[in-house]
Chains A and B, each alone.
Chain A
Amino acid sequence: MAATDTSLRTEAEITARVKALEALLIEKGVMTTAAVDRMAEIYENEVGPQLGAKVVARAWTDPEFKARLLDDASAACAEMGIGGLQGEEMVVLENTEKVHNIIVCTLCSCYPWPVLGLPPNWYKMPQYRSRIVRDPRGVLAQDFGFVIPDDVEIRVWDSSSELRYWVMPRRPEGTDGMTAEQLEPLVTRNSMIGVGPAAAPAA
């Protein structure tokens, strides 16, 4: 079983391999149960798109914060106590009437974990990674049912291990007077990837 040839592995073999790796790491003291628990705790309870939604909702309602967010997203998020692994260098892209932004990682699926949680499976698929670059308008319409008007420019941004992008969607119509807290639930994960709009307020 050569370590470099994973394609020949069956699901049972790879499951066994991960189990073996975990057992060895714990046995050798490289890793402790507590360390894995702590990591699990963080990603289970604290990290997820609800944090990004909080940031966006605040930016929608607080122009000064928005300016700071667009200037230096990592620093603005840190103001709100949000940051961590894969959030070191973040850039927020603002959608406008004329420009729509989408994020992708064409190599390894870099993603801003501290604000969006972990990426969904489709984000990591080679098909999304290659197609969204070639035909963003078509992929949004076909795969996500999200039609961008022809007069709106679409920009696709490639995240890397040095720099991770995410999107500030447009504030939905009919939300004037709503507080940041009321707006948070309207900010979806997909809207912060750029493959969907922020949700409309309940009628």
Chain B
Amino acid sequence: MTGTGPDVTDLGDARRRVEELVCGLPGAGEQPFDQPWELRAFALAVAAYHEGHYEWSEFQRSLIESIRHWESGSGGESWSYYEHWLRALESVLSSKGLLSDNEIDEETRTVLAVPRNANHHEAHREPVAVAAARTS
């Protein structure tokens, strides 16, 4: 939860639907994802594949390459499987000409420049959520 109320855009809706995956996945307590962004990165890669933007083997090669690179490093870098996943996704998308690193960098800066509590100092004069009365 962001604490800023539900995101009612299509994107927000998609995100919620994807996040529901976590609850439906097997083995509560031993979940495949630690953080919501990991699930989103997973969902994006599979959805882009299903949309026909790349072969799954291309994504896998990219993932293997990223992990190999990490393993051959001097150590000290912490392990995050889904960081490799994300890097593989970015790499395969940019190799297909669908996105560029610069675009992602720029959009990331934009997202970071708008903090979650950007309007926290403003007065909120309406309720942020209303649950309708139940009549029956």
Q: Does the CB pair A44–B49 fall under 8 Å?
A: no
Q: Does the CB pair B47–A6 fall under 8 Å?
A: no
Q: Does the CB pair B79–A161 fall under 8 Å?
A: no
Main secondary structure of the interface of B (DSSP, over half): helix
Q: Does the CB pair B25–A118 fall under 8 Å?
A: yes
Residue A203 at the B interface, CB < 8 A? no
Q: Does the CB pair B108–A108 fall under 8 Å?
A: no
Q: Mark A151-165, 1 if CB is under 8 A from B, else 0.
A: 000000000010000
Q: A46 vs B46: C-alpha distance in the bound complex, in angstroms?
A: 15
Q: How far is the CB of B2 from chain A (nearest CB, A)?
A: 11
Q: Does the CB pair B90–A30 fall under 8 Å?
A: no
Residues from chain B with Cβ under 8 Å of A32 in the complex: 51
Q: Does the CB pair A3–B81 fall under 8 Å?
A: no
Residue A16 at the B interface, CB < 8 A? yes
Residues from chain B with Cβ under 8 Å of A126 in the complex: 71, 79
Q: Which residue of B lies closest to A6 (CB)?
A: B83
Q: Does the CB pair A36–B83 fall under 8 Å?
A: no
Q: Does the CB pair A120–B31 fall under 8 Å?
A: yes
Residues from chain A with Cβ under 8 Å of B10 in the complex: 26, 33
7 contacts between A and B (CB under 8 A): A11-B35, A15-B35, A21-B107, A36-B17, A44-B23, A107-B68, A108-B67
Q: Add 15 more A-B contacts to A18-B40, A40-B17 (CB < 8 A).
A: A1-B108, A7-B78, A15-B35, A16-B112, A18-B41, A25-B99, A33-B10, A33-B11, A35-B51, A36-B47, A39-B47, A44-B25, A48-B24, A110-B60, A122-B30
